[in-house]
Chains A and B, each alone.
Chain A
């Protein structure tokens, strides 16, 4: 099958599906499982090319995770593909004990995360998946910024000998940040590293997933406002690149995080936990405020919950102004 070009406007899942197909050619131990969502997760490209290594497990996510565990313990590298609300949503116990406690080399692909399930409504919009995966010992959590980075991350995770959760979106970034889009993925994907997209000195913007594009746009606007923003794409939420985050926060003295996820337990939370006691800077955590999603256009829903570059700019101004306020105690 000819390689499809992955564009800045490509949906993240298309980058994933393409990579899975190419990985299948390179590594014969890779097997793919899905729970009646072959086409939606883009596992279909692999399924068509390698029918013997593709396993349609039906609408049974718990068994799918368990079967993948057994396959991994027998030397295979299973990629378990579904929507994140179902897997790891419904198969969390199997992920916890079968995969993580046992250190089984299973890759869990959570599709349609954030608001990208749009029309399907709140039941299908995964806004809690980072929280329920990053709390599990032995599990890596990766959340790429766009289709190209999703493509790159698949190969990196296949090389990692251990469990990993890959957070995929059905969408492309909601707003394209001009020329900087290509900066996101021009270098090799470095698992475990915070990706520095733009150097700055006044405030650090940390984003993950589709929100990275919003952070890049926000930095452009802030530059016009006379604020120099450092932009970090936190594609690997766990293990966290403590060193890079700490260095950036110490340098800029202020921080704004943004993610298409609940504020509780998400990427912003991991920054707060990691930096508490190490650095005292004002931090704003942008995310969904303890609410479920609803039917709608994904970009519209993200905007409703304040997940836009404009809100990020506002938050950046706030934390920069707080830098001089000595009476406030931060993290």
Chain B
């Protein structure tokens, strides 16, 4: 898919996210908006997958370890054809398949149930190990947040991936510098994730998480690296696309009011002010 098509799709997904959050009156805003470009690139360019056959054995796996950013996962899965787009409005409602945190038993395309941080990371290691054992060429991509790296389990998993030389595993780290209680470097400083991952014997790539070419090239590079797992540190702007949310930790874990959502949608429709009138 061409970059301008991806860009237009990610804008649509951002609007979906705002609409889901305002409907649900709860959920996370900043992370999902910040990861919209990466999810769009993955599902519409990088991943080998088939929405008609979500359990296809040779599919590439996308594991979302930081389950709280599920609005972006749900919106992207719906736009990719895994379930009807109209179902997005049921997010966080009683009886919905779109649970507050993803449940793999409910929704096609969700690889793991996640919420408690660090767990998806280990599951991704397990999937990569099992696929290697089977001689499969499927790749495993794992989305993990920077705040998630506070969890000891993440480092246990990182050690084990390096031990087993999981060349079929790429972890995409959402380096947006915020977590619930504030900036990551104030809450529990991560310092250089590059230095840490290199010390753990991973191959590290750093990208602009809003540049489609860089996202796709990094995933291609991850496939080419054969001797190590790959960490793609994606620098993203939390709340990207909505001016009043961008870079603000207070938007990590809350939903916009209907009035705020209107402003956000208007901004997204105008592509950040580049289009002067909605009908343009």
Contacts and interface: CB of A to CB of B under 8 A. Distances in A.
A67 B169 CA distance: 13
Given A97-B113, A97-B115, A98-B113, A63 B129 contact: no
Nearest to A28: B133
Nearest to A138: B105
Contacts of B9: none
Nearest to B111: A73
A122 interface: no
B122 A63 contact: yes
Contact of A66 (B115, B122, B128, B164): B122
A313 B105 CA distance: 48
B270 interface: no
Contact of A71 (B105, B116, B130, B152): B130
Contacts of A73: 104, 111-112, 123, 126-127
B153 interface: yes
Contacts of A67: 122-123, 125-126, 129, 157, 160
A65 interface: yes
A103 interface: yes
Contacts of A183: none
A69 B130 CA distance: 11
Nearest to B113: A102
Interface string B112-124: 1111101111111
B126 A93 contact: no
B127 A63 contact: no
A73 B131 CA distance: 11
A61 to B, nearest CB: 9
Interface in A48-90: 52-53, 55, 57-58, 60, 62-76, 78
A145 interface: no
Given A57-B160, A74-B126, A62 B118 contact: yes
B159 interface: yes
A71 B116 CA distance: 19
Interface residues of B, number: 35
A101 interface: yes
B137 to A, nearest CB: 14
A63 B112 contact: no
Contacts of B119: 66, 69, 93-94, 97-98
Interface string A91-114: 001100110011100000000000
B185 interface: no
A53 B133 CA distance: 8
B103 interface: yes
Interface in B154-175: 156-157, 159-160, 163-164
Contacts of B131: 74
A71 B122 contact: no
Interface in B88-143: 103-105, 111-116, 118-131, 133-134
B153 A63 contact: yes
Given A70-B126, A97-B119, A102-B113, A63 B105 contact: no
A312 interface: no
Contacts of B130: 31, 70-71, 74-76
A94 B120 CA distance: 10
Nearest to B104: A102
Contacts of A52: 133
A94 B121 CA distance: 11
A100 to B, nearest CB: 10
B81 to A, nearest CB: 22
A93 B40 CA distance: 31
Contacts of A57: 160
B98 to A, nearest CB: 16
3 closest A-B pairs (Cβ-Cβ)? A70-B126, A66-B122, A63-B156
26 contacts: A55-B129, A58-B156, A58-B160, A60-B156, A62-B122, A63-B125, A63-B159, A66-B120, A67-B125, A67-B126, A67-B160, A69-B123, A70-B63, A70-B126, A71-B129, A71-B130, A72-B126, A75-B130, A76-B130, A78-B126, A93-B116, A97-B114, A97-B115, A97-B119, A98-B122, A102-B112
Given A31-B133, A60-B153, 6 more contacts: A70-B112, A70-B126, A73-B112, A75-B134, A102-B105, A102-B112
